[in-house]
Structure 1
Amino acid sequence: MVMVINLQYRPATLKTASEARKEISATLKVRGVSDHLSNNIQLCFSEAAANLVNHTNPKPTYINVELECQDGYWLLHLSDDGQSWNPALPNRVQTLDTFEEKEGGRGLALIQSLTDDMEYTKRTTFGANKLTLKWKIQQISTKPSVLIVEDDDSQRRLFSAYLSEHYRVFEAENGEKALEFLLHNTVDLVISDIRMPGMDGLSLKKALHNETNTLLTPFIFLTYSDNPETRSNALGLGIDDYIVKPVSKSALTQSVQRVLNRSDQIYRQLTDKINQRITSALTPSLPSTSHGWNMSIASRNTGIGGGDLVLHRDTPDFLMVNLADVMGHDVAAKFFSYAYGGYLRGLMYQVEAEKNPCATLLNRLSDCALEDNLLSQVILTCCSMALFDDGTIQIASAGHPAPFKVSENLVEPLNIGGILPGVLYGAEYDVLTTTLKLGERIAIYTDGLFEAAEDNEARQLLTDKVMEALSDTRELPLQEATETIMSSFEHYGERHKDDATLILLELCARERE
């Protein structure tokens, strides 16, 4: 057991809950926990803590937070002295109990969907409520995996002994068993004897060519028979190496390392090309003017991946703009952004004739995120906007930070929120409709703009400076204002912490006259 956090937060407020979440984030980062798991733990904590602070009666006077690693699980314990509420009850997901579906209150359904297990103990007269959320730790080996296919038991055990120190080694005594294994498991390399009873090595390699998952698996042949016909047949199957028995340890290990290095190099080259194409496709862009609106956009990413996604569609009646933030900022986030981009593009064509296109789009996006096996593996937020010719803008939000309205001497958040996509079937989203006045702007952004900082003090400074820049740049041309605000982000924030995207909107000059 490794105890990581054991802190008591008094009083129980949203501010202290925010401080606890940052402690959890920092601790998990130090422990090397993946971004995906860390984000899930932080989200569940925030939802549970927000429920305790906002929706219980009597309210707790404290929240005690414990985070530990035990028996292959990360455990998050929340103890409090307020009203008892049991999120583990099955019917709570359907009713959402005291949770709100707005204001970021993704609630019980979110907690249950993002945890592997949970337990709840009600407080006694002088005791405390205790909620325990559990996440199973995935054990991942960093050693490359090798399958040895050899009908001679002693030879197979010898080759396995040669490689077991640096590789995960699996064994099969003939081609049939090797094929069965490979149809259900993935390995980095196959080493096979050519001559075996039943399915020999050549037949095994041919069979693997017919399977998508094994078509490109690196392959080394072993044989006693080094005649031109056998070598020609083997090389014709696209093998990576050909070793004549008897095989020494050095010859085998050098061949394995050489083949894996070459395979890794080819994979990285292919990945880089795909990555470049995806990066180009995901580069945020907007038209500078459309339907009587001026628009500008600026985006910064961590340099690793790109989790922010901006898409627009021009219809006869309005311009639709969608800003999505896929959780994480690694290559996986970039891939999921690309996948979600395809869904969003299709949905924008489907909803343009709807009365409330933004709300309808988020509803369908949410159902897709819940039902699709790929998209359900990641969390995102999305802000959807429709910009009309008369200066009216409709906004709907799915777990996304509230936009800001920038007026003279005032920067205020717009009151719009909604449940994260992919939490509930048939999620419904409200629409905020507003019309800008002369000299007003709307700022839509991803949360990295305010959260990409090292600690609480730095994060507050970043927030203050960005808000100050939003106000001070109101009279600047739109694109200049956007870049000035992003310069404040770059100066006071940490770009490597999170991606950040900012969109500014205002009416065209002719609309102001």
Structure 2
Amino acid sequence: MNEPIYHRRFSLIAPAVTEIRHVLKHVLSGLAVLSDDLDAAGLVITEYLTNLLRHSKGEDETIVLLITRNKTGDYTLEVIDNLTPYDLFACNESDWDINSGILVEGGMGVELIRHYFPKAAYTSKRSKNHFSIPLTQGKNKPKAVYVDDDLAQLALINAYLKDDYDVIVCQELSEAWQAITLHDVQVLILDYQLQKQTSEPLLTKLNGSDHRSTLSVVMLTGTDSDDTITRINRLGIDDYLVKPVKKIRLLQSLERVTNRVKAFEYQIEAPRSIDNYRLNEGFNAHLFGSIEVGDGGDFFMPIPNQQNGFILGDMMGHGIQARKESFAIKGFVRGFLASKPNCNELLNTLNQALYEEQLCKNSLVTLLAGYVSEGHFYWLNAGHPPPIVIKSNGTLSELAGVDPLLGLSSEHQYEVYSVSLKDVLHILVYTDGLFDNRETDESGLLQLKQILPNLTLSQSEFASTLWHNSQVSLTKEIDDASLIVIN
């Protein structure tokens, strides 16, 4: 029987596709799955989940994402549901050709899956459907840094780990810090009591850096006294082991804490973000990407006042650390709107706070606030990518109206820009990851023309198809990406 590595239940709703893509990117990367398999898994699971959404009843349906490891060290990725069986392999009638280069919403199914995973399977048993694909573990081992001033102990732990980890051994805390900053390290193993000092200074430095959000820490100690263990726990470590430690105990600890960091740091503790927000005058904002699931540095905030607008922000950075930085901005915005429920002065006030370094001293943020009123779309823009308008005749254009980043000057006054909504089918507001992740020198407009859906689609279908078409391989997702389609 395969060993379970990751197991989590998701509601079968559109935001789950984005959240599951994030999970796959970080969990499978942590498991050293081959890059080609990682990218193919992201593409195939996105297509499969899109198909499930299309054929589900839409009433409190759930799915389970399961990753298991077999005896050879390779993995199986499985999606389990209790819907009415719908065998994609038997029911797909599309004549879509994978070599055509044409994106077809929901029509790529079997051809796409079979191309990347010939051994993919769909079975139904005990009222549950199982869709599974095999994944191959890569040759690159995860990196571990081990710090100890005892040469015999360094040799012993290296011998324990060398088959499963690329071990960097260090006798000094400064060496360890250099290794962490120069290499993509997954786990740090620290001897607590060194000859000249404890390892606390390194942990303090680490806890104040971006590295801690993606690095697991296991502490080794020669004593199991309550005082020592209490002190170690206060340092925010993931696990501690008492010397002498057995090989199997050490490996179990490392596997547990590294998988926990890779998987559970991307699980959302806050309530799920909305995926559809109603603006004034019958317009809707369809939300996709990081803002759907509250992940990373992109954030969406509704402005439920007479303007009934929204804010889209993008913190510099990616993942958990950027998400933490965004909390300060969102807290400030909530406080401002509570006392002055009008977004027209928000950027000027926030700009002053950032200029005086009252918050976010070590990060940058772009921010766009928008709302609909009297047949016009109004927006304020602090260094954010310009909105894109799609008119009924099919023309695309970027809206002029971008002011500087927040916090650069206390003198600048942010302007309110507007555009008439006459003959406008869609307005796109997005974070720069939407196009930057595509690794091309072409402008956003040229990239958009290549993935633009049929304009005759319904408003919601157009929005979801555009987001689907914009997805890139998981290994190319260098930045958080979010999209708002207003129509």
Contact 1:482 1:502 survives alignment (8 Å): no
* Alpha-carbon distance in structure 2 between the residues aligned to 1:493 and 1:190: 33
Is 1:314 the counterpart of 2:298? The answer is no
Q: Quick one: which amino acid aligns to residue 430 of structure 1?
A: E
1:15-42 Cα shifts (integer Å, max 9, x gaps) = xxxxxxxxxxxxxxxxxxxxxxxxxxxx
Which residue does the alignment assign to 1:483? Answer: 464
User: Alignment partner for residue 364 of structure 2, among 379, 399, 410?
Assistant: 379
Cα gap change, 1:504 to 1:262, in 2 (>3 Å): same
Q: Quick one: which amino acid aligns to residue 478 of structure 1?
A: Q
Contact 1:326 1:378 survives alignment (8 Å): yes
* Alpha-carbon distance in structure 2 between the residues aligned to 1:185 and 1:449: 34
User: Alignment partner for residue 262 of structure 1, among 253, 258, 270?
Assistant: 253
1:372-419 Cα shifts (integer Å, max 9, x gaps) = 68733333321101333x334431001111113333434332221111
Query: For residues 120-139 of structure 1, what are the structure 2 equivalents within 5 Å?
Result: none
Which residue does the alignment assign to 2:391? Answer: 407
User: Alignment partner for residue 430 of structure 2, among 445, 449, 459?
Assistant: 445
Contact 2:312 2:367 survives alignment (8 Å): yes
User: Alignment partner for residue 430 of structure 1, among 409, 415, 428?
Assistant: 415
Cα gap change, 1:208 to 1:377, in 2 (>3 Å): farther
Q: Quick one: which amino acid aligns to residue 379 of structure 2?
A: I
Alpha-carbon RMSD: 4.5
Higher radius of gyration, 1 or 2:
1
* Alpha-carbon distance in structure 2 between the residues aligned to 1:161 and 1:495: 37
Structure 1, unaligned runs of 5 or more: 1-140, 149-155, 195-200, 220-239, 244-251, 507-513
Per the TM alignment, residue 311 of structure 1 is displaced from its structure 2 partner at its CA by 1.6
Contact 1:366 1:421 survives alignment (8 Å): yes
Query: For residues 20-419 of structure 1, what are the structure 2 equivalents within 5 Å?
Result: 143-146=144-147, 159=153, 166-170=168-172, 177-178=197-198, 188=217, 190-193=219-222, 202=225, 206=227, 209-210=230-231, 213-214=234-235, 216=237, 218-219=239-240, 240-243=241-244, 254=246, 258-259=249-250, 261-262=252-253, 265-266=256-257, 268-269=259-260, 272-278=263-269, 281=271, 283=273, 285-287=275-277, 289-300=278-289, 306-315=296-305, 317-337=306-326, 340-352=329-341, 354=342, 357-358=343-344, 360-369=345-354, 375-388=360-373, 390-409=374-393, 410-419=395-404
Q: Quick one: which amino acid aligns to residue 167 of structure 1?
A: V
Identity percentage over the alignment?
20
Which residue does the alignment assign to 1:93? Answer: none
Contact 2:222 2:243 survives alignment (8 Å): no
Which residue does the alignment assign to 1:503? Answer: 484
Cα gap change, 1:494 to 1:443, in 2 (>3 Å): farther
* Alpha-carbon distance in structure 1 between the residues aligned to 2:357 and 2:255: 30
Q: Quick one: which amino acid aligns to residue 447 of structure 2?
A: L
Cα gap change, 1:456 to 1:209, in 2 (>3 Å): same
Per the TM alignment, residue 299 of structure 1 is displaced from its structure 2 partner at its CA by 1.9
Which residue does the alignment assign to 1:113? Answer: none
1:358-380 Cα shifts (integer Å, max 9, x gaps) = 4x222343445555687333333
Number of residue equivalences: 309
1:35-74 Cα shifts (integer Å, max 9, x gaps) = xxxxxxxxxxxxxxxxxxxxxxxxxxxxxxxxxxxxxxxx
1:62-88 Cα shifts (integer Å, max 9, x gaps) = xxxxxxxxxxxxxxxxxxxxxxxxxxx
* Alpha-carbon distance in structure 1 between the residues aligned to 2:168 and 2:438: 40
